[in-house]
Amino acid sequence: MRLARIVIGMDFSVGAVAAARWTARELAPAAELVLVYCSTPRGELLPLPRGAATARLQMLAADLAPARARVAVRTGDPADGLAAMAEEVEADLIVIGPHGAPAGSDEVGSTAERLVRRSRVPVLLAAGGLRGRAHRVLVPLAADDVSPAVLEWTRVLEAPSGVKIAVVHLADEARRTRSPWRATSTSHRWPRLGDDCVPGGFFVDAASGAPADVVGENVERFASDLVVLDGGAGGPAGGRMGDFLRKASCAVLVTAGEVGSEFP
């Protein structure tokens, strides 16, 4: 897969600017970038006037990649605006940072959560250290296998060398005891996630519990810098993963699922 065009959501917070720089310089140094500011009130914070927002976007675009960046200002909910823009420009990916919010607010991660429900395009929440491509990837697996999209996107986002991948099967206690995931058929895709790993760098386990809690615990366990969630039917993004997105401490990619699917 070639990343030809990426929509980047901007609110001019430190996290959003860091996400834009990482995308332009490390994730996709040849892609066209569309920097989008959605003008809508957030709590007591008033939106920037259109002219001021456009000027700030243009300054950022000139700093990042003047020859391959353009800007747009939309009015309304950021999730709706970014999803619509991605469809309009036929983007391959939407990137947002851990957007700024007032202290104590529950808004951090809420844009990503709503965006996942609305978007026909994969969404990357660019949180965490953002140092190059991902070297430690966590792939939670709720169904018997990963989707082709998870396999493809993991390879797009992982580091070209030195990568370690942990696959954690999200299972109820009975399934974990039986460990049916160990008896894989040759048609299963998830073992192929380890094809490019360093020797001993592919780890497989199963864990039971609330999906958001299990994923969060395993991010810490493996010091993950990227989580790849399947947004399709049967994937972990269809479970109760909203809490995890709101608290994400590393980058999270959610592949495109059915628009309007549950992501509570």
Domain 136-254 has CATH 3.40.50.620: yes
| Least confident segment among 58-72, 109-123, 128-142 | 109-123
pLDDT value at residue 42: 62
Task: List where CATH 3.40.50.620 sits in the chain.
Answer: 5-125, 136-254
The string of pLDDT tens digits covering residues 86-117 is 999 999 999 999 854 443 444 545 778 889 88
Read off the amino acid at residue 229.
L
The C-alpha angle with vertex 27 and arms to 23 and 31, in degrees rounded to 5, equals 75
| pLDDT (mean) for 211-226 | 94
What integer pLDDT is reported at residue 67 of this predicted model? 93
Residue 237 is predicted with a pLDDT of 67
Q: What is the Cα–Cα distance from 162 to 136, expressed in whole angstroms?
A: 9
Task: Give the predicted TM-score (pTM) of the model.
Answer: 0.89
pLDDT value at position 234? 63
Token pair 């978007």 is at which residue? Answer: 119
Percent of the chain scored above 90 by pLDDT? Answer: 59
pLDDT of residue 186: 65
Closest CA to 91 of 256, 260, 223, 263: 256
Would you say residue 192 has pLDDT above 90? yes
Q: What is the pLDDT of residues 225-262, one digit of tens each?
A: 999 999 876 677 655 677 888 888 999 999 986 544 44
Q: The tokens of 68 are what?
A: 């391959």
Residue 80 has pLDDT above 80, yes or no: yes
Average the pLDDT over each of 1-10, 38-47, 115-124, 218-227 and give the range with the smallest value: 38-47
Pairing type for strands 136-141 and 226-229 reads parallel
How far is it between the farthest Cα atoms of the chain?
61
Percent of the chain with pLDDT over 70: 83
Distance (Å, whole) CA 210 – CA 216: 10
Return the pLDDT at 264: 40
Per-residue model confidence (pLDDT) at position 69: 96
pLDDT of 176 strictly over 90: no
The answer to whether 112 and 29 have CB atoms below 8 angstroms apart is no
Residue 39 to residues 45, 49, 91, 114, 166, Cα–Cα distance (Å): 11, 8, 21, 16, 39
- In CATH, the number for domain 5-125 is 3.40.50.620
